[in-house]
Amino acid sequence: MAKQVILKQGRERSVIRKHPWIFTGAIQKVTGSPERGETVDLLTAGGQFLGRGAWSPQSQMSVRMWSFADELIDAEFFSKKILEALSLRKPPVISSATTGVRLIHSESDGLPGVTVDRYGDWLVCQFSTAGAAYWKKTIATTLQTIIPCKGIFERSDLSVLKKEGLGESVGMLWGEEPPEVVEIFEDGRKYGVNIRGGHKTGFYLDQRDNRSLVGTCSKDREVLDCFSYTGGFGVAALTGGARKVTMLDSSGPALAQAELNIGLNGIPAENYSLLEADVFQALRKFRVENQRFDLIILDPPKFVESRNQIDKGARAYKDINMIAMQLLNPGGLLFTFSCSGHMEDLLFQKIVADAALDAEREMKILRWLSQAPDHPLITGFPEGKYLKGLMAIAT
C-alpha cells in the first residue's frame, strides 16, 4: 500500500506556496504505516499530488517536504541538492580565501534538518529531523564523494532531537579525526574552532559579514564585545584597528579560546582584556563606575525559544540594550542582535526603540543586519530568517 499523507480540506495552501512544513493539525489521514523518517507522498483531500516529504510521527511538524515535484527521493536526489547548494557558495558570494563556510542550510537548501559546515579540511554535519537522520548514511557518503575533505564529523547534539523521537549522535562519520582546534580563515582573520564541543557546529558562521562590518568601524575606538564567546567580533575589532577591546563572557573556556584566537592574529596584550562575568551584572557595574565605550556589540544567546517566551525575552533584550546605550559615548556605535527565530524584525526594532527611550539616548539606525549569504533564505520559508540585528549610532 502506498505511503501517503492526506491533508484536510483547504490545508494545502501553504504547500502550494512552497512552505516545507506540514503540521499535525493539517492532516486528515495517513496510509501505509510509514516508519519514522521514511518518504511519504503528500496529497490534497481530493487526491491531488503535492510532493514528497519525510514522515515524523512524534513531531508537531509531521512532514517536512523534500520536493514539491514528482521525483524520487534517493541518493541521486541528495547528490543533486548538495551540488546546487555548493554552486551558491562560489565567489563572489563567499570568498575563496574563507575556509569556514556553511555549505548546506537545511530547509533553505531544500534539505530540511540537514546542516553542513566546512571548517578547513573537515565537514561538520547536524541531522536534526527524522528524515535527515533516516538518510544520514546516504548524505555522508554523497558528501565525501563530492567534496574533497579529510573527514566528516557529526554534531547532532541538539535539544530539538527529542521532539523528533531521536537521540543525540556525536562522532566521526568518515575519515580522519579532527584536531582539537581547527584553524580557519575569514576575511583576513584567523580563528581556531573546536568542532567537537563548540556552540552550534563550533563557530557562529552566520555572523561573518557582521564581524567584517564591525572591523571596518573599529579603528581607534574603545570596544566592548558582550557575549564574546571565542572572540569572533573582538578579533574583528582588533584587526580593524581598535584601540582597546574588552571581551565579556560568562564562559572561562570560551574566553581562553578567544585569547588563543587573538594570538593567532598577532595582537599585543595591551590592546585587549578578557572579563569572565555575567553580562547583565557586568554592564550594570560599568554603569555605576561610569565607564564608557565607543562601540558595543550585543550578540546574546536565544532569549526566546518559543512563542510563549516572547514577552520574557523582550524584557531581557530591552534591559540589555538600555544599559548598553547608557554606556556609549556620543557618536558611539551599537551593534545589537537577536538570533531568536520567534523574535520578528519589527518587534526587535520596537524593543530597541523602547530601550533608547528608557536610556534617555537619541539613537539612529544606520543599517539592518542579518545572516551571511551562505545562510540563504528561500522566499517560501520566512522562518529561515532567524538572525536580525541593528547598527545604530548614539547622537
Q: Please name the residues in contact with 18: beta carbons below 8 A apart, sequence gap of 6 or more.
A: 68, 378, 379, 380, 381
Which H or E run includes 102? strand 100-105
Number of other residues whose CB lies within 10 A of the CB of residue 289: 8
Which burial class, exposed, middle or buried, applies to 149 when counting CB atoms under 10 A from its CB (0-12, 13-18, 19+)? Answer: middle
Q: Residues 125, 217, 226, 339: which is the catalytic one?
A: 339
Q: What are phi and psi of 364, to 5 degrees?
A: -120, 130
Residue 125 annotated as catalytic: no
Q: What interhelical angle do 232-239 and 208-217 show, nearest 10?
A: 40
| CA–CA dist 335, 389 (Å, integer) | 7
Which H or E run includes 209? helix 208-217
| DSSP 8-state symbol, 157 | -
| CA–CA dist 304, 311 (Å, integer) | 9
| DSSP 8-state symbol, 8 | P
Which burial class, exposed, middle or buried, applies to 341 when counting CB atoms under 10 A from its CB (0-12, 13-18, 19+)? Answer: middle
State the catalytic residues.
339
